[in-house]
């Protein structure tokens, strides 16, 4: 007998992260679209393909939402049954960038992030999900005026406790690589109004 286990996602925590970040970046917003591939070294499963949307300023705080799913099914077989399952996941992160990533001053931009998420495994019998929180670091390497190579390392905790807490679950790691495309945003430099010529 298979039982589906579902935990409730803490919506108040999502709002607590999203509202101040979006408000802080409202004056100089920038939207980036990032297709990426996730690798899960600890599980040994197939890579996951994903897409992230980032809203934030050219530097400082930003808000990022992302989702990914397995490129192929994982074959789970036993003496009594055989099913194909497909892992998937979604995250909402607050990102803090160091340095600038706009205009002529574009350079390698490191960042750190933390957020909450949900991950699951779906097959023909049931869908099992669980909530988690994660943290990590990464960097953007500019490849042009509006495109950058993206890479990050992420660690996940399946319980909402610090990694150093007593009886904390073992964290899992994830690597992401992809390309970031800037598709919107305001100017980064302030140009004062010029006086009228006489």
List pLDDT tens digits, range 80-132: 334 567 789 999 999 999 876 554 456 889 999 999 999 888 765 767 888 99
Q: Does residue 175 belong to any structural domain of this protein? A: yes
| Residue range 13-59, pLDDT digits in tens | 444 444 444 444 444 568 999 999 999 887 667 789 999 999 986 66
Q: Does residue 79 belong to any structural domain of this protein? A: yes
Domain residues for 117? 29-185
pTM: 0.71
Q: Does residue 87 belong to any structural domain of this protein? A: yes
Q: Does residue 7 belong to any structural domain of this protein? A: no
> For the chain, how many structural domains are there in total?
1
Q: Does residue 193 belong to any structural domain of this protein? A: no
Residue closest to 57 by CA, chosen among 25, 94, 20, 88: 25
7 Cα distance to chain centroid: 20
What CATH number is attached to the domain comprising 92? 2.40.160.20
Q: Does residue 128 belong to any structural domain of this protein? A: yes
């Amino acid at each position: 007998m298979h039982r589906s286990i579902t935990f409730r996602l803490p919506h108040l925590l999502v709002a607590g992260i999203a509202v101040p970040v979006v408000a802080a970046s409202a004056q100089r917003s920038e939207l980036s679209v990032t297709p990426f591939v996730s690798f899960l070294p600890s599980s040994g499963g197939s890579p996951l393909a994903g897409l992230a949307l980032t809203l934030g300023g050219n530097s400082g705080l930003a808000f990022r939402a992302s989702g990914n799913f397995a490129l192929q099914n994982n074959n789970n077989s036993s003496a009594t049954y055989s099913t194909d399952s497909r892992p998937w996941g979604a995250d909402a992160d607050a990102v803090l960038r160091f340095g600038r990533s706009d205009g002529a001053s574009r350079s390698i931009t490191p960042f750190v992030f933390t957020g909450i998420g949900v991950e699951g495994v779906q097959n023909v019998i049931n869908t099992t999900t669980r909530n988690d929180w994660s943290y990590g670091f990464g960097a953007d390497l500019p490849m042009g005026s509006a495109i950058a190579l993206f890479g990050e390392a992420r660690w996940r905790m399946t319980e909402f406790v610090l990694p150093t807490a007593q009886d904390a679950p073992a964290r899992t790691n994830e690597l992401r690589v992809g390309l970031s495309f800037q598709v919107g945003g305001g100017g980064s430099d302030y140009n004062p109004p010029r006086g009228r010529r006489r």
